[in-house]
Structure 1
Amino acid sequence: MSLVLDPTAQDLLFREARTANTFAEEPVTEDQVQAIYDLVKYGPTSMNQQPLRIVLVRSVEARERLTEHLSEGNRKKTADAPLVAILAADNEFHEQLPSQFPHFPQAKELFVERETRERSARLNALIQVGYFIIGVRAAGLAAGPMTGFDAEGVNKEFFGDGKHSALVVVNIGKPGENAWFPRSPRLTYNQVVTTV
């Protein structure tokens, strides 16, 4: 059975897409990031929460502040990437729910308890992280998502208000020389899917 999506687009988004470890020097523009966001914002989240927040790390000073909190293996590639994005969950996303989702005015009341709100923010922001990576690929760029960092340190450095929780750091750009590690195997359909 064929998919509706053109095979070339399937390759761009999935089969040929890889996590880049080196990047070309070509910059990533604000227009490119705007186009990525304007596409991926339509991906669904529970009750239209949209808790993902993105910090674009462009300046040398900010990049140095970030790399201090990365694991050793992630520092050089992050220092050299054309653009780095810190993807975080907004733990106070519920404050914007009434304007975003007028059909459920009681939605804000569901998230009064902080633990419930933070759990929901994390889950839904992580869903949006996946959309963001696919959006980067759709723009013809490579993404290098990383979770090897001191989240508490990144939160203190970039989210001093305590309302946000860093989830993933993503290097973004055109792939550079020797950008790819060998592709790791993927589980087969039968290893993953069961029917009940």
Structure 2
Amino acid sequence: MSEPTRPLGADLARIAVFAALIVVLGTVTIPMPSGVPVTAQTLGVMLAGLVLGPRRAPLAVLVVLALAAVGLPVLAGGRGGLGVFLGPTTGYLVGWIAGSIVVGVIAHHRVFAWWRAALGALVGGIVVVYLFGIPVQALVTGVPIGPTALSSAMFLPGDLLKAAAATMLAVALRRAYPRAFPGRSHASYAS
């Protein structure tokens, strides 16, 4: 069975809303010595994957990255321009695309369930993003990958909290407004 079609305008609006959410979640940042700030933008990436699914979530992320590329201050700390794609956060930004896809694939496999949402947020929103981010950060900063990975561990507690928050928000939204989610049947929900 294929996913039900919805008007193009509705999809574009949902993608735009999640792109805006990712931008807004980057307005509060905590600079770190590693050059990678603490921000809530990954919460937005996780939520995009959980709510929009694997096809539409990366489009929301790509909108944010395209806006950054043309110079709009949409990334953490009001950063924008092509230079942000040459710094230590580059891998994390690319990881957002892959991460949002993985979050969506895991969460929307078969019937949406809270545990799939949590697993998707953990694997896609943390592991995948780190797999892209840490090696690029090490390359850009010239610090070996081991110490870079170790220094990135300071982000883990916050990312675990973001994954929990994303899961709770997505489950609540799914119960309140199931039509916001892709899927074969909006009436089905596994607890």
Regarding TM over 0.5, the answer is: no
Question: Could you say which structure has the higher helix fraction?
Answer: 2
Higher normalized contact order (CA 8 Å, seq sep 6+, divided by chain length): 1
The two structures have a TM-score, normalised by structure 1, of 0.31
Give the structure with higher Rg (CA).
1
The two structures have a TM-score, normalised by structure 2, of 0.32
